[in-house]
């Protein structure tokens, strides 16, 4: 195998964007040198003629030259190692059918108070860390791909989730405190937010336009839940005990809540507002009691792929099929 490295000043990288068709791994460097190192391991050095790794206005870009992907041969592995004392980036982007795996970075030591994760296309953007402490975390999914965030604990000011298309977003944190959690779906996609131990939320907002689904599972509390569904989608928040909730439905969708104090329901169409025991102290509008089990937890601790070169021909076959 041949190996080539590219070195960048990590303190000047505010965005990392992957446009490659294959897996890219982003992780910590063992050396505190203020650098970000991109390492490409490949069976053919000719592949480097068609891969462009460069920095432009604070963005580290990993791209395949236009219409050159058919020239790639053999095997390839792309890894990025970054100094944990110089985590200046505030945006991570994956575009296309490739994947960006982010693991073991200290997400309580980012130089920026904000972090945005964006996945465009059919690929993956997965992030895993022991603890996440960020003022504002934004997760965006556009297309049929998926975004996944896992952590043992999290302290967030705001968590904004936007899902456009048919893709999925999963946030799995063992114990999480967030001031404002907002979820938006446009299309048929799904969002699942889960906490095994506890999820403490001040303001919870859930909005669907289309046939998508939002699920909160595990154990949690919220002071207020604003839930709106336009279309045939579903919102399930019975795992979250909300003090108060405002529910609005237009269409044939459904919203299931658990409310301690006051539930207000506004319905237009054939949709349904449902709640579980114990019932709210006060109910305004139409809502009815249902019996059932709590929503299942999503599978956690799914192993990341091994850091091994992958066969390019299998990637190309998959892309053609897709």
CA–CA gap between residue 113 and residue 201 (Å, rounded): 19
> E strand or H helix at 120, and its extent?
strand 114-121
Q: How would you classify the pairing of strands 114-121 and 124-143?
A: parallel
* Domain spans of the chain, in order of start: 1-89
Cα dihedral angle (137, 138, 144, 148), rounded to 10 degrees?
0
Q: What does each of the 322 residues of the chain score in pLDDT, given as a tens digit?
A: 999 999 999 999 999 999 999 999 999 999 999 999 999 999 999 999 999 999 999 999 999 997 777 889 999 999 999 999 999 999 999 999 999 999 999 999 999 999 999 999 999 999 999 999 999 999 999 999 999 999 999 999 999 999 999 999 999 999 999 999 999 999 999 999 999 899 999 999 999 999 999 999 999 999 999 999 999 999 999 999 999 999 999 999 999 999 999 999 999 999 999 999 999 999 999 999 998 788 999 988 899 999 999 998 766 544 443 4
- Position of tokens 């609005």? 248
Beta bridge partners of residue 177, listed in sequence order: 155, 200
Tell me: domain 1-89, CATH 2.60.40.740, correct?
no
Question: What are the angstrom distances between the C-alpha of 294 and each of 29, 199, 238, 283?
Answer: 41, 15, 7, 22
């Amino acid at each position: 195998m041949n190996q080539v490295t590219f070195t960048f000043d990590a303190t000047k990288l505010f965005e990392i964007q992957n446009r490659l068709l294959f897996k890219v791994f982003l992780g910590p460097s063992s050396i505190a040198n203020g650098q970000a190192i991109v390492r490409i391991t490949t069976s053919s050095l000719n592949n480097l003629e068609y891969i462009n790794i460069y920095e432009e206005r604070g963005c580290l870009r990993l791209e395949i030259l236009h219409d050159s992907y058919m020239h790639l041969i053999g095997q390839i592995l792309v890894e990025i190692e970054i100094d944990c004392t110089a985590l200046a980036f505030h945006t991570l982007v994956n575009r296309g059918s490739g994947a960006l795996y982010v693991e073991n970075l200290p997400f309580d030591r980012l130089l920026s108070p904000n972090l945005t994760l964006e996945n465009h296309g059919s690929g993956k953007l997965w992030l895993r860390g022991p603890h996440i402490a960020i003022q504002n975390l934004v997760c965006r999914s556009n297309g049929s791909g998926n975004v996944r965030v896992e952590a043992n604990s999290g302290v967030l000011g705001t968590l904004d989730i936007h899902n456009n298309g048919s893709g999925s977003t999963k946030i799995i944190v063992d114990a999480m405190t967030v001031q404002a959690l907002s979820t938006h779906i446009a299309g048929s996609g799904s969002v699942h937010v889960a906490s095994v131990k506890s999820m403490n939320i001040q303001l919870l907002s859930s909005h669907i336009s289309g046939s998508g689904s939002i699920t909160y599972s595990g154990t949690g509390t919220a002071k207020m839940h604003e839930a709106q569904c336009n279309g045939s989608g579903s919102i399930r928040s019975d795992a979250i005990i909300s003090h108060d909730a405002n529910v609005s439905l237009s269409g044939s969708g459904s919203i299931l809540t658990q409310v301690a104090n006051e539930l207000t329901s506004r319905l237009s169409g054939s949709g349904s507002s449902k709640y579980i025991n114990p019932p709210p102290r006060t109910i305004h509008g139409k809502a009815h009691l249902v019996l059932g089990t709590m929503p299942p937890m999503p599978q956690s601790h799914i192993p990341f792929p091994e850091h091994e070169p992958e066969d390019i021909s299998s990637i190309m076959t998959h892309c053609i099929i897709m």
